[in-house]
Chains A and B, each alone.
Chain A
């Protein structure tokens, strides 16, 4: 209730940031300071204030916002509210203070509450938030989203806080050319993107762009033999060495350390940036099926499966196990395998595997590369592992 936090498509302003903001306000003693691991925090002393605030907001009635969601119809005098650590309700008033106090008293009485003047009405600030949400969700300006980590309506300070990585005048000027040029917006240096634990699934979308525009598919999990670094394999034409790999709604998950479109592979290896929190699953994207860590070299005529972010799961049979192809760069790749499953743009890098129902196993055969007419091609898993010095993980 006290803080309306907007999440960008892939990030949000962090709890740590919000806590920090609370700590800067003398009336809002840092609630985190009393936290003890494993012990539930008691808010019973704030219950009465919360109940009053709920009643007050309910009295406003509702309206529809620009997303056609039901939201409170905040009166112009209401500037927001917050509850102190001691349990008292503080209400911010915009405009005529006396008129505002009378309106509040008429609904929830006058006990145990304080008033403070507010420059902006809460209704105005929520409108600003809606505009920022629309800006972020529409991804109209991907370059701005690269350095924006979140924005939040801060009740206590009566402003909309916009968090920017590497805040400087140039970025502020750039943002102010769009929806960020509004009264009540305050820019603040971001402490970084909030990053949830990410599980990466073979066959799901991976991109070299945070916006996820232009993408391939995750191949399979692997571990580098020399130092044990874990990551995943994808197509070499999907990402280049040094590029960041983005997953899900645009979370940076890893860095490409190997990428090759020659020899016997069109493949890349991406090491995870946060191997302690993120992991590469063997569960195939959108299924409960487990990809086996064993690799296989199925012969011509074998039934084969492919899973990719564009066409999902498709199957076919192997045509040849020793094919040379020319890729988009003009270089020849040898010892590829051809098959007749279907695929489309975006499936590159997705795992190709056999399914042995009698044992319930799905040995990894390789990763999808591309198409020539109705024929599909994949790089053998064994060639990828030996070329980059990896083990299936």
Chain B
């Protein structure tokens, strides 16, 4: 389990976490502004989603990273295994297809208050194009406070696939 203090440092590396409440559809999710330093904190719910590393090298055939969900709340946070990945194309976030054989486990994970949980993100294995397309991406994931399943929050974390690291 990664401690929050470590994540604070990681956040400064330029990763995004933002949110939209309720059952908002993807098109309702806020479009991020392009900045040199990409960092947004969910100030409403104190949850942060990060992708580590935040930059993958295009020529790297084995793009294996992770995503970390930081729970800075006083309550337990619940996350399912499912997520979507989007790419910014013409200033619009568009769904990136995953390989058909990728299966989301039907499980929910709990993250204790003030703690974080790290999950594997095998990009090159799960993106249909092998994660070989340069661009600005984001991971979109739902989370909710334990016992409040009806109040889901959408979290996003951006990452880049570039030709130079």
Q: List residues of chain A with CB under 8 Å of any chain B CB.
A: 139-140, 142-143, 207, 209, 211, 213-216, 235, 237-238, 266, 308, 310, 323-330, 332, 343-348, 368-372, 377
Contact = CB atoms under 8 A, between A and B. Distances in A.
Contacts, number: 104
Given A143-B112, A214-B78, A326 B102 contact: yes
Contacts of B34: none
B126 to A, nearest CB: 6
A377 B146 CA distance: 27
Interface in B75-101: 75-76, 78-82, 99-101
B103 A325 contact: yes
A239 to B, nearest CB: 10
B104 A371 contact: yes
Given A143-B112, A214-B76, 15 more contacts: A139-B76, A142-B76, A142-B113, A209-B76, A213-B78, A214-B79, A214-B108, A214-B109, A308-B106, A324-B101, A327-B105, A330-B120, A332-B101, A345-B107, A371-B106
A332 B101 CA distance: 9
A142 B126 contact: no
10 closest Cβ contacts across the A-B interface? A330-B122, A214-B110, A213-B110, A345-B80, A370-B105, A213-B146, A348-B107, A370-B103, A348-B106, A213-B76
Contacts of B147: 139
Interface of B: 64, 74-76, 78-82, 99-113, 119-120, 122, 125-126, 146-147
B103 A330 contact: no
B122 to A, nearest CB: 3
B110 A370 contact: no
A371 B110 CA distance: 20
A6 B105 CA distance: 38
A41 to B, nearest CB: 43
A329 B103 CA distance: 10
Contacts of B125: 326, 330
Contacts of B111: 214
